[in-house]
Each structure stands twice: as structure tokens, then as C-alpha cells.
Structure 1
Amino acid sequence: MVEDGHFWTETNWVFIEVETDEGVVGVGEANWTVFRARTVVQALEDMERFAVGLNPFDVETLRQRMYNGNHFLHTPGVVQSMVIGAIEMACWDIMGKVTGQPVYNLLGGKVNDRIRSYTYMHYKWMPPEPPEKAAEAARHYVDKGFTAVKLDPVRPKEGPRNPRIDELEYAEAAVAAVREEVGNEADILIGTHGQLYTHSARRLAARLEPYDPLWFEEPVPPENFGELREVVDSTSIPVSTGERLLTVHQMAQAVENGVRIIQPNVGLTGLLEARKMAGIAQAHYAQVAPWMYAGPIAGAASVHLCAAIPNYLLQESLEGWNGFHNDILEDGLEWDNGDLIPPEKPGLGVEFDRSVLESYAGEYRPESS
């Protein structure tokens, strides 16, 4: 939802600072904290012992200590992954500040000067609104400069499930209306949030193929790669996935099962793991379109990843990265006519405007939970 240029993402952002013994401060973000913010804060407090005393340049060692530091932590869940990602993010920020380099230079150097972005249309349209409203929303964003827009044409519900025939017809009508409106001005991206059974995903894909979507995102839940492969083999639409995958091992399985657009969540995987994922994708001629439905620190980290990899495709955007997303920063990321401009400042290139941030900040109070 957007009101007066501000967006709402149904979540809390947990920001952290890591300080070196020389006083250099790096910022990080645990960015998938909806329903688990208190748990994430507690996990950060519990796991900080793995990072204290370590050289911030030793990111691989940090990851291994936090990943393998306890037998029962060896297979990380979402909360542990967010903690690793947040602390690692802050270390990259420190490394950049110490060396005087933007993070993308530490990841191999900048190969992309502009990062093409896309936005969800759901700030302006959602099912079951009429398909013609979807066309109007698409036109709104294309006129702002976007050359790709994403929609979930099936009404969101808990899944997996089998949409009725009228729901499939509605989904097709919405996508058809968008394609008729934007023509070849913009790519259409299809999201489903893993809410379909395999056979349902195949039926929907068959209906949408004539409108040439750029991708069919997470058509089935991400835990069964064999079923994902069934969808891949049944459609000409490229299948994408990745926002809920935590490790390079999981992403490798997705690519090995035919996924050709991976969508790592940098705040969930960490920058180093996401860079490795991009390398696996590159070896299979797959491309990278990072997930980003989060705060500005994780967003900046994601932009640095895109700047440094040759196989980047698109970067998810929350509209034009405006409103609150920029208000809490001294200098926000630059969004220009549909593209993000990688920052040239050292580190992640973003710093908090503390006067604004503190006016919004929540406080973790265990006694009130």
C-alpha cells in the first residue's frame, strides 16, 4: 500500500551496527522479520559471540563460525540466516569504509553502471479488482520509467491450492490487459508466492504464455525441487525462484532443476553467499534478479551485488525507493527513470539520518511480549 509516496511492507526492520576496536562502524539489516522481530533480536544477542574479536575482513571465517559453530546450528533456519546476513552486511560496510571503496569493488568491481529495476503493481492494483485497473496500474509505473512490472494475477490465499476455472480466466484477463496496455514498453513478471499445486501452475502457465511474461516466479512452494522441475519442463516461460532459499546448496538445486532466473534475498543469504549463488547461476547461463521487499540497508547491499555480477537481470524495487525508505537515510539510493545508480561512497554508501530514524524506532521489551 502507498499513501503520499510512502509504502508499507507489513514488517519490521531490525538494523544493527558493528563497531571495530578502531571505531569504524558498519551497518546491517535483518530484513525478513515479520512475526519474528523479537526472536531475531534475541538471536543476534545470542550469536554475537561468534563475531566478537574477529577481523571484519574475514567474512568467510565469520560465516563458517556462525554456520558451523554448533552442531545444532549446521542446517540454518530463517532466523539464523537473517542474523548471519545482517552481521556479514555490516562487515562489508566496514571493509569498504576502511579501504575507501564501495562494496561492489570488493566483490570484483563494477560491471553495471545502472541497475534496471521493477516494481510490484500491488501498490496500485490487487485481485479481485477489475483487469482494466491492472492495465491502469501498469501504465502508471511505465510512465514513471519502469520497463518491467510484476503482478500476482491469482488472488492471494494460503497454498498450495488449485484455483477454480474462473480464477484462471481472471488471471489471464488481467495479464492480457496489462500486455495490451504496455505493449513492448515493459516486461511482465508473474508472481504466485508458491501458492499453486504443480498441475495448477502448469494450467496457469499455459494460459499466460501468449502474453510473453519474462518469468513465472515461485510457481510452487520451494521445498520440492522435483515438482518445480515439472513446471519448468511444461512451459516456455522462464521459471524463477530464490527468495526463500537460504544457502548456496539450495540455490544450486534450483538451478540444476531448470531455474534460469534466481532471486536471492541478500539480507537472508548474506552478500558472500549471494555472490556464490550468482556464480553458480552464471555457469548455467542463468541470471540474477534479487528479491528486495525490505529496508534500505539490505536494499543497498543488493544493489552492490547487482553492480558486481555480469549475469544480473533485474533488481526488485519498492516503487522509486522514495518515502520512508529514503527518509531515514542521510543520502538515499539514487533511482533514475527506472534504474538504480550504484553509490560511489565507501562501504554500502548509505548512512542513517538518526533524527528521523529514532523518531520511528521501536524498542524490544521482553517483559511486554
Structure 2
Amino acid sequence: MLITRLTTYLVAPRWCFLRIDTDEGITGWGEPIVEGRAHTVATAVDELADYLVGQDPLRIEEHWQVMTKGTFYRGGPVLSSAVAGVDQALWDIAGKALGVPVYQLLGGHVRDRMRVYGWIGGDRPAEVADAALNMKAQGFTAIKMNGGGELRRIDTAGAAESIAARVAAVRAACGPEFDVAIDFHGRMTVAMARRVLPLLEPSLPFFVEEPLVPEMSEHIGSIVSSTSIPIATGERLFSRWDFKRVLDKGIAIAQPDLSHAGGISEVRRIASMAEAYDVSLAPHCPLGPIALAASLQVDFASPNALIQEQSLGIHYNEGSDLLDYLVDKSVFGFADGYVRRPTGPGLGIEVDAAAVERAAEVGHRWRTPTFRRDDGSLAEW
């Protein structure tokens, strides 16, 4: 079996899909994307095609090594995301060729169902409480919410208390058996994190995600030691070498993204590294159905997998949503806060190729929003 073609599709709301065809008619799908840089990643995939066309798709590890280490300049989100999508598609082909789910090729499943969480929006306490109750009514047992909008480097007492009030409102509305995670998108400085996190402790958050930007990873240990709240990070770390800098700092949860961190091959290795540090795995995935399917394959094979992010109804999904590009939408049927183990071959999903092609005719040019502080300076989005 040989690879004959790689085709990328830019589809709404902000995704990039990849199809890899073979001379035996087996097709694999991947999701290579950097949000806001979809065209750039698609070009990187096209450059990788010069090497991949004509190769045996089942030599996954060989191809991963060549794609990541076969050139003088290495790493970075664009290349690692292009490699991630290719890697997902190659595992999809391998599973389909052998008639088994990818997790079977990773050693078999270690659980029968995987816990998932949903996102909520809203800026005021009453809004987030109502949104969380709505998710609870849908059967979810955990949600994630933004900690707040743009922040000054050291913001006011009022700003800190507002963040705490929103989280407290969700906790009061949903009760102690419901988990509330808080994402800060790296919007806090070290000083601001030390101010805010103690105020959140009475609400017992499930975890606080990315309190600092990845450039400040060397300081994550001081944040961990300043709070009882479990700290999660990793959506903007792209390899096991990036994670090596944070795993020994006391983080509780590693969050590699299957569409950014080298795909199934690399995230499986990151999961194993994390296990050695007593760190749980919770793959980052506010993306499309292929990325989620790839994430779940790793989850079901990883003993330290904790919970899985998914994007159904997330505020980014304008125009299309998670299930719109699937033939069988029931594969992501969430019940009681869990998704059942997929049993189909490869990634366990059937992509609606015709729907993808129609959407790609329109495409998208989604760009990351720009946040500014009240003085006009650039703030972290």
C-alpha cells in the first residue's frame, strides 16, 4: 500500500481537515490546524506531501521521525500541527487496514467510557450559573469556563473578586458533585495569579488551566506551590521536550492537543511521560470531530487519562458544529457526562467527504481576536 495524495480542506468554523488517499482505496483523515493560521498549516502539509507521496502509510514512526527531524529547522506550532494531522490520518489508515480501532494498536483499551466536559459562556455570575445548570441538565458532570477577559498585569481587587464571584456562582448553582474548571488562557502574570488563585480556593475548582503563558513555564512551579488548586497546562506545548520543562514542576494535568503536539504518536508518548510524574492527561480539544476522535483513541489507551474536552456548542463554532461533518453522529453520543468507547476501525468515525468538500468551497479566514487593556496596550487573548 502506498500514499497517492494528500488533500487539505479549510472548513467552517475555523478548522482544517486532511485526507490521505492510498492506492488500495483506504483513506485516512486528520485535522492539522493552528487556529487563526489554517492556510499556513495547509501549506506546511503540502510541503510534507513531497516526501509522503509514494511512501508506505503503515511506517508511521519512520514518517514521524523524518517529518519532525529530517530538516535542519525543527519544531514550532505550524510544523508540529501539520505533522499532527498527517500522523492522525496515518493511524486512521493503519486501523482501517487491520480492521481495528487505533487504541487496539496502542495496547488495547483501559476503560469502557471516557468522561467529557463542555464549555459555557457568559460574563456575569447569573449568566454563568444558568449556563452551567443548562449543561448539567444535558447530562454533563463537568464544565470549563473562562476565568475572565483581558487583565492588567496587576489588576484591581475588584477584577480579582469578579473572577472569584463568577466561579462561586457556578459552584453554588451546581453543587459539590459537579466539577468546574477555569481557563485563564495565559492572561495572568505570576503576580496576578498569586492574587487570584487564593480567592478561588473556597469554590474547589476541578483545575485551573494555563494561568501563565507558555513562555513563563519556568515559573509554573511557583504557582503550583502557592495554591491547593490543581494546575493544568500544555495546549501550547508541542512536544515531549516542551513538556519536560513542566512535568517536574508539580502540575496536576497535562493538556497536549492532538492537532498541535505531533498527533497520536507524540501525545501517547507525552501521556506516558506524564504518568511517571503522577500527572493526569486531559487532551486539549476545542476543535473538530477528527481531532476529538484522535484524542479519544489516546484516552482509551492511557491509564492516566482524566477527562476529555470537546467542542459541541462551544462559542467558537459559528456556522458549523462538531457533528456536521460526520456520517454517523451517534459515535459522539454523550450520556451521563461520558462518551462510550468507539468500536469502528481507525479513528472510529466516518467523515462525510461530500459535506467537507462543500464546506471547503466556501472555506474560512478565521483569525484570533485581539484583546486590549483599558490603556490601549495589547492583552493576552
TM-score scaled by length of structure 2: 0.86
The alpha-carbon distance between structure 1 residues 109 and 336, as it changes in their structure 2 partners (threshold 3 A), is same
CA offsets per residue over residues 98-124 of structure 1, 9 Å max, x none? Answer: 1100011111111121110111112xx
Deviation >6 Å, runs of 4+ = 320-323
Displacement of 1:199 after TM fit?
Answer: 1.1
AA aligned opposite 1:42? T
Paired residues of 1:32 and 1:268 also in contact (CA < 8 A)? yes
Paired residues of 2:287 and 2:310 also in contact (CA < 8 A)? no
Per mean C-alpha deviation after superposition, the further-off stretch among 58-67 and 91-100 is: 58-67
Of 195, 215, 221, the residue aligned with 2:213 is 221
CA offsets per residue over residues 262-307 of structure 1, 9 Å max, x none? Answer: 1110011210100011001111111011111111111100011111
The alpha-carbon distance between structure 1 residues 199 and 271, as it changes in their structure 2 partners (threshold 3 A), is same
1:56-95 matches, within 5 Å, as: 56-72=57-73, 74=74, 76-95=75-94
Structure 2 counterpart of 1:151 = 145
What number of residue pairs does the alignment pair up?
347
The alpha-carbon distance between structure 1 residues 39 and 187, as it changes in their structure 2 partners (threshold 3 A), is same
Of 252, 273, 280, the residue aligned with 1:260 is 252
Q: Distance in 2 between matches of 1:49 and 1:88?
A: 16
Structure 2 counterpart of 1:134 = 128
Q: Distance in 2 between matches of 1:178 and 1:33?
A: 29
RMSD over aligned Cα atoms: 2.0
The percent identity for this pair of structures is 37
Displacement of 1:252 after TM fit?
Answer: 2.0
Give the SS at the match of 1:110.
coil
CA offsets per residue over residues 316-353 of structure 1, 9 Å max, x none? Answer: 02237997321211113322222112211110121222
Of 21, 42, 49, the residue aligned with 1:19 is 21
Structure 1 counterpart of 2:373 = none
Paired residues of 1:261 and 1:286 also in contact (CA < 8 A)? yes
Q: Distance in 2 between matches of 1:225 and 1:56?
A: 36
Displacement of 1:198 after TM fit?
Answer: 0.3
AA aligned opposite 2:301? A
Structure 1 counterpart of 2:371 = none
Paired residues of 1:104 and 1:308 also in contact (CA < 8 A)? yes
Structure 2 counterpart of 1:331 = 328
Displacement of 1:255 after TM fit?
Answer: 0.8
CA offsets per residue over residues 219-258 of structure 1, 9 Å max, x none? Answer: 0111222211110111010110011100001112111111
Unpaired runs of 5+ in structure 1?
Answer: 1-8
Give the SS at the match of 1:167.
helix
Paired residues of 2:32 and 2:42 also in contact (CA < 8 A)? no
Structure 2 counterpart of 1:283 = 276
The alpha-carbon distance between structure 1 residues 190 and 364, as it changes in their structure 2 partners (threshold 3 A), is closer
Paired residues of 2:103 and 2:301 also in contact (CA < 8 A)? yes
Structure 2 counterpart of 1:45 = 46
Give the SS at the match of 1:188.
strand
CA offsets per residue over residues 47-86 of structure 1, 9 Å max, x none? Answer: 21232233222222111101111112x2x11110111001
TM-score scaled by length of structure 1: 0.89
AA aligned opposite 2:266? E
